[in-house]
Amino acid sequence: MWFFTEEEKDLQRVCRDFAQKELAPFAEKHDYEESFNFSAFKKMAELGVLGITADPQYGGIGLGATAATIVMEEFGKACAGSTLSYLAHSILCVNNIQNNASEEQKAKYLPKLISGDHIGCMGMSEPEYGSDAVGIQTKAQKNNDGTYTISGTKMWITNAQYADIAYVYTRTGSERKNLSTFIIEKGTPGFSVGKPIHKMGMRSSPTGELVFENAKISSSQLVGQEGQSIYHMMKNLDIERITIAGISLGIAQACVDQCVKYAQERKQFGKHIGSFQLIQKMIAEMATETEMMRSFLYSTSKAFDQGIRGPSMAAQVKLALPKMATKIALDAIQLHGGYGYSREFPLERMMRDNKLNEIGAGTNEVMIMIIAKNLLSELKES
């Protein structure tokens, strides 16, 4: 886009090239097998993007929401599932540690996460508490010796099966806002990974349970002050919602590109279908909707990077873009007819993958609640 910096334009070109070489050729395979693209993940470290928002002293590149969203868009065009796993690692784990952990914790955990030696995840949602994130019931009980004992289960956790580091929200008090976070290492006694979760889409992004059965955790693994993690959670949700919308933008653009290509190749009634006005209308509308998504998303990410962070901004982007990308994907399938509905073309995978973006990081309905609450609150105060 015209308002990208030269650094952002360079990042876009590099990520686009990487995605076409390391993600796109293997997207169908990993979707079919429900397997994780380890090779691409390791090469993302070489590319330097596993620590996209992290401080350079730990190996990161210290960029903001706009740069992270550019990566999501370019990777998302090629393989949304692998991109979701990248988001869980770089935004939900690395970015949270960068923003909230102590210097000692950053020095201990960030270098290996950014180098790709370790894979990260975040544990927030639970079997009974998905949209109601503040209602989580996984408990961390402080012991007399200063350690904590954690019990509970986290559900729908991206990268669960392969994570070396889990950034986990727990309850440490009776009040709803008494939440505390711990950085928990793979192999900790009492901490295990439960069953894998088989999904409709994002099948190349592993999803599972984190199970804590009286897991004893050192107080050195507590992030910040006990009971203060509600603020960490809300702050990181904004950048999560902006960047996951970037994946939807990538999916929408990939659908438009596929439709333009198909319309120039497919013949019906002796003509390329691109010569039919109805096909032209569908492509023109999809392309226009995609450009609307792009402008909305990057103007929001730029504002976020400049410290302009209204309560509804991220929620509005998160509501609008995944919904529109699902519509575009369905229109693209319709344009392709029977081929669009088959696995011969990537459109059905793109549609399945994007549906997750209407659920993860807060459902459409939760976004509507946030936006309406803030609008009505502003009206009441005026």
Active site residues: 240
Give the dihedral of Cα atoms 20, 259, 350, 85; nearest 10 deg: 30
Q: How many helices (H) and strands (E) does the chain have?
A: 13, 10
CA atoms within 13 A on the CB side of 321: 33
| First CA to last CA distance, the chain | 36
Token couple for 203: 């099948």
d(CA 131, CA 345): 33
d(CA 265, CA 253): 19
Token couple for 322: 């995944």
Token couple for 119: 């894979």
d(CA 375, CA 83): 32
The residue behind tokens 């929620």 is: 315
d(CA 223, CA 246): 28
Token couple for 216: 């004893």
Identify the bridge partners of residue 150 per DSSP, sorted by sequence position: 140, 215
Residue 37 burial by Cβ neighbours in a 10 Å radius (0-12, 13-18, 19+): buried
Residues in contact with 208: Cβ distance below 8 Å, sequence separation at least 6, in sequence order: 157, 160, 161, 193, 194, 195, 196, 197
Token couple for 46: 């070489």
Q: Do 37 and 19 contact (CB within 8 A), yes or no? A: no
d(CA 319, CA 364): 5
Q: Do 160 and 207 contact (CB within 8 A), yes or no? A: yes
Residues in contact with 143: Cβ distance below 8 Å, sequence separation at least 6, in sequence order: 149, 216
Give the dihedral of Cα atoms 157, 179, 53, 78; nearest 10 deg: 20
